[in-house]
Chains A and B, each alone.
Chain A
Amino acid sequence: MRGIGLIAALLLIASTVVAAPLRVGSKDFTESVILGEIVSGLARHQGYPVIHKKELGGSMIWLALLSGEIDIYPEYTGTLQREIFAGKTLPDDNAIRQELRLHGVMMTRPLGFNNSYAIAVRPDIDAHLALTRISDLQRHPALRFGFSNAFMDRADGWPSLRQRYQLPQKKVRGMEHVLTYQALQQGNIDVIDAYTTDPHIAMYHLRILEDDRKHFPRYDGVLLYRQSLIEQAPMLVEALSQLEGRIDDQHMLALNQQVEIEGYSETDVAARFLAETLGIKTNTQTTLSLAARVWQTTLEHLFLVITSLSAAIIVAVPLGIIAAKRPWAGHFIVGVAEVVQTIPGLAFLVLLSVIFAPLNLPTIGAWPMITALFFYCLLPIIRNTLAGLNSVADNLRESAEVLGLPPLVRLRLIELPLASPLILAGIKTTAVINVGYAALGGLIGAGGYGQPIMTGLRLNSSALMLEGAIPAALMALAVKGLFAWLERRLVPRGLRGV
């Protein structure tokens, strides 16, 4: 008993001495990640331990800040006005600031750049049609638009742009942002949405059309942080003011270019910025080797897969047994599991974050991902358990019954062993699919193979995408092999020869 008390005391002391690390968030595009790295570097320079949760999906990052899973992240005033507080009229920064304070969130002054949405046209189209303003597009209904998925959905995106300018175009496609440049290059689309600090505009010589009806607001880059940060990290909050007004449009464009075109890591670019602009020397951590990175993501991925699958087995097999024994309950159980299965992955993650946020449960990171995977695993295991038990021949079921064995013993000694080949096959299929699904974890900072895939997608880097995709494929094969071995061990010997 004394030992336990001692450990508890040590833990208590340790928890007060070792401060909880600051959690910096960033969105799933380069500029946001660079800003996140700059803030992280600054905080480390102040002596705070920092965790940078990169590449969080757009709508989830705001919820993550509210629920306290991150302390600070870069945002844009236009997004706050048009998207996050879409229902409210917030004419200026002060109004935004007041609204944010109601949520316990603080906002820095603008960092200096305005990363507005812009509408860009392919150079040859531009030469041909002589377009200068967005309203010029009205005259060319045949033009094909390709917009990033976020732009298609956002309140300040395509729906309101079309209304404001009365645009007649019918061929409008939503796609991943980096792919719009490729599609434009290949001549599959003519007009895309772009960000004004996007280095690709210059690289592809795109023509930016003037927003002559003033549709897009200013998207001034700012940092949002929780009010509690003022007490938790007063020196950092003070240091943040050094960033205010220090990064103008050209500067931000240059930083983006260093990452997206020249291939430097966000960490290096942020460190150079801090050194050159603020004279802050950060000890850039040596970047991990490929093997170390893959090992790291493998462990994270395994954690997601194993935790969710084990929980699903523990829940789904009994549910399958209940479904087999009580057909009316079975219809209900399988029905619910089927509905869950039809929800697309990303939508499910957003749904979970909406449900989790008010419950003070984590909305980003490994746990919501494990929850989603758990639900996806249920159906195939329930189904196969049900099918396995139903496949037990009537004469065997009755033989067990007339022997006088009680129902639970019959289940354990006769029915489950006879159903085991199908149940195991169900778990095997589920495990293999789960390895693939877990890559969605990249969307909510859950780690695993999804992370390099997401980054690779963002930077249009095949090497990075393969860094996630190849190990994922190998893991799926390994899982399959593992279950083949388990089947040999677990399926009763008498059933293997039949």
Chain B
Amino acid sequence: MLELCDISKRYGDTQALHPTSLVFPCERTKALLGTSGCGKSTLLRLIAGLIQPDSGSIRLNGEPLTKKNIQSIRQRMGYVIQEGGLFPHLSLRANITLMARHLGWPTTKIDQRVAVLGKLTRLDLHFLERFPWQVSGGQRQRAALMRALFLDPVILLLDEPLGALDPIIRAELQAELCEIFSTLRKTVVLVTHDLGEAAFLADEIALLDAGRIVQQGKLEELVEFPATPFVTRFINSQRHPFERGLRKCEG
């Protein structure tokens, strides 16, 4: 279980995140949803320890994150950054196994893990010898996911993992991710601006606006009992383009 207790973050004059408390229950997927600049990425970066909160604390299974233990806690976190963040000078295999090799895993154990994860993410193992720029965007994301899952982390952090993909690949990968999440049963934090993606992949949604959590709950709850007019506006903005287009065709 991941607990955020009254954490806040300010960049200069901008309050990127007002004091926020949030709980990510075990083996559940929670989406942090919102427009760009709403504070969802700041929240994720705070969890990953890439930036330090101005106030408040973060606890993973009861253990508070500090500068001292961040290195070891990160080994229990898998992180897929926007556009994958694969290292261009390393092959996919070298990217995926980097941390395990650093920790001195035996080769056979590494190979076994590669095989298991390759199957899970449906990445053909013969792609592994290629460099990131030699494979498609979808394959890059599969490899990034393999890298994040390699040490079998307790928590998985995903920052717009499908943001850079074209719609068809994106839909395919969404389905696969959904399957992977239910297979692995990990605590997942998913940052996205896409309502459909959040609703499809997550058990619960936390909608953010201007550095605050506006509402938490399942999609139905957000639709039927919006906490503020913003919630309705946000939902409608993502629902309307498709429906408007449909109506125009019918009309």
Q: B-contacting residues of A (Cβ < 8 Å)?
A: 395-396, 398-406, 409, 413-414, 417-418, 492-495, 497-498
Contact = CB atoms under 8 A, between A and B. Distances in A.
A401 B81 contact: no
Contact of A493 (B48, B77, B131): B131
Contacts of B71: 404, 406
Listed from nearest, the 3 A-B pairs whose CB atoms lie closest are A399-B85, A404-B74, A492-B89
A404 B75 contact: yes
B99 A404 contact: yes
Contacts of A402: 48-50, 74, 77, 79, 81, 157
Given A398-B81, A402-B74, A404-B72, A498 B133 contact: yes
A395 B74 contact: no
Contacts of B45: 398
B134 interface: yes
B83 A403 contact: no
Interface in B61-94: 71-72, 74-75, 77, 79, 81-83, 85-91
Which of under 10, 10 to 19, 20 to 34, or 35 or more describes the interface residues of B? 20 to 34
Nearest to B131: A494
19 contacts: A395-B83, A396-B87, A398-B48, A398-B81, A398-B85, A401-B74, A402-B50, A402-B74, A403-B99, A404-B71, A404-B99, A405-B99, A406-B71, A413-B98, A414-B87, A418-B89, A494-B89, A494-B91, A494-B131
A495 B89 contact: yes
B50 A418 contact: no
A403 B134 CA distance: 23
B159 to A, nearest CB: 9
Contacts of A396: 85, 87-88
Counting chain A CB atoms within 10 Å of each CB, the highest count among B74, B86, B87, B147 belongs to B87
A398 B85 CA distance: 8
A418 B90 CA distance: 10
Nearest to B130: A494
Interface of B: 45, 48-50, 71-72, 74-75, 77, 79, 81-83, 85-91, 98-99, 102, 131-134, 147, 157
Contacts of B50: 398, 401-402
A399 B88 contact: no
A417 B87 CA distance: 10
Contacts of A417: 89
Contacts of B49: 402
B165 to A, nearest CB: 16
A399 B133 CA distance: 17
A395 B75 CA distance: 18
A497 B98 contact: no
A374 B243 CA distance: 70
B88 A495 contact: yes
A493 B94 CA distance: 13
Nearest to B86: A399
Nearest to A402: B79
Contacts of B132: 494
Nearest to B90: A494
B87 A497 contact: no
B89 A405 contact: no
Nearest to B157: A402
B74 A403 contact: yes
Given A404-B75, A494-B132, A395 B89 contact: no
Contact of A399 (B75, B79, B89): B79
Given A404-B75, A405-B99, A395 B133 contact: no
A4 to B, nearest CB: 40
A493 B131 CA distance: 9
Nearest to A418: B89
A483 to B, nearest CB: 19
A404 B91 CA distance: 19
Contacts of A418: 87-89
Given A402-B74, A404-B75, A498 B99 contact: no
A398 B48 CA distance: 10
Counting chain A CB atoms within 10 Å of each CB, the highest count among B49, B81, B88, B91 belongs to B88
A392 to B, nearest CB: 10
Nearest to A398: B50
A494 B94 CA distance: 11
A316 to B, nearest CB: 22
A400 B102 contact: no
A497 B133 contact: yes
B88 A498 contact: yes
Contacts of A404: 71-72, 74-75, 77, 99
Contacts of A413: 98, 102
Contact of A395 (B82, B90, B134): B82
Contact of B87 (A399, A406, A409, A493): A399
B98 A403 contact: yes
B89 A497 contact: no
A73 B82 CA distance: 72
Contacts of A403: 74, 79, 98-99, 147
Given A395-B81, A398-B50, A494 B88 contact: yes
Nearest to A417: B89
Nearest to B147: A403
Nearest to A400: B87
Contacts of B157: 402
